[in-house]
Amino acid sequence: MALTALDRDAAAHRLKMVNGQLRVCDVNDLDLLAAFLDTPREAFVAPDMARFAYLDSDQPSLGSQTRRLLAPTALARLIQAAEVKPGERVLDVGGGAGYGAAILEHLGARVVALESDPGAAAAARKLLNGRAGIEIVEGDLAAGAKGRGPFDVIVVEGAFEVSPDALLAELAENGRLVGVDCRAGTPEATLIERRAAGFGRRALFETRATALEAFKRASSFAF
């Protein structure tokens, strides 16, 4: 089937994103770059924001009033740090309409996409229909995907202000969780690894991300 002008334009924007954003920020995994080249981000953002889909910023998810997709570079660097391998079980948390889940499946992962926003989950089901490697689960993000773990990798597509304890409990031994840790105030992309002796944490890079509602710190009032 011949490509339309819109298809060619979107493909050109994806190439520009990969070369001008991802590669210059040390995203160098060739399979990961190919996944970003092949996945149409404009299909996963709110329709009125499609023209901004390839800017390096978070964008509102299709089907939701509140959920935002991570900026492409932040998502790519998190996934690269997680070192996702074909056949691994991956839990994608708070990914909205499923852009991150599509990237992860492209890498050969078996993905469970956990989303608490009904509209975003419905959009993900529609967009990812027929993708045998992806299961969409609607439920509480903080509770995890009970009964579907353990997971080799968990990707939290947003920031957490409190420890995601239920998610960490679902990691397999040597499993990796990546996300944006705001517990100390300054947002840092973080890798948490489960080892026999416990959990190890490594800061990756400073970034910005919207805090997922399930992992927000409880408000406190001073009198």
Residue type, 73: T
Mean of the pLDDT values across residues 177-192? 93
Beta strands in 19-109 (DSSP E): 59-60, 68-69, 89-93
Nearest 10 degrees: Cα torsion 163, 166, 172, 178? -40
In whole numbers, what is the pLDDT of the chain averaged over residues?
93
Q: Is the pTM of this model over 0.75?
A: yes
Q: Dump pLDDT digits (tens) for 91-145.
A: 999 999 999 999 999 999 999 999 999 999 999 999 999 999 999 999 999 999 9
CA 100 vs CA 65, 93, 124, 143: distances in Å: 18, 9, 11, 20
Instruction: Determine the pLDDT at residue 223.
Output: 47
**Preceding omega of 118 cis (within 30 degrees of 0):** no
| Region at 35 (left for phi over 0; alpha for psi -120 to 50; beta for the rest) | alpha
With 80 as the cut, is the pLDDT of residue 55 above it? yes
Quick one: DSSP state of residue 45?
B
Count of CB atoms situated within 10 Å of the CB of 44: 27
**In the numeric block, which tokens belong to residue 212?**
């997922």
- Do 33 and 51 contact (CB within 8 A), yes or no? no
CA 206 vs CA 21, 25, 94, 155, 186: distances in Å: 16, 12, 20, 17, 8
Instruction: Determine the pLDDT at residue 216.
Output: 93
Mean of the pLDDT values across residues 154-163? 96
Instruction: Determine the pLDDT at residue 170.
Output: 97
Mean of the pLDDT values across residues 67-90? 98
Kindly report the CATH class assigned to 5-215: alpha beta
- Do 59 and 8 contact (CB within 8 A), yes or no? no
Instruction: Determine the pLDDT at residue 97.
Output: 98
With 50 as the cut, is the pLDDT of residue 3 above it? no
CA 147 vs CA 36, 86, 92, 150: distances in Å: 30, 22, 15, 8
- The pLDDT confidence band at residue 184, using thresholds 50, 70 and 90, is confident
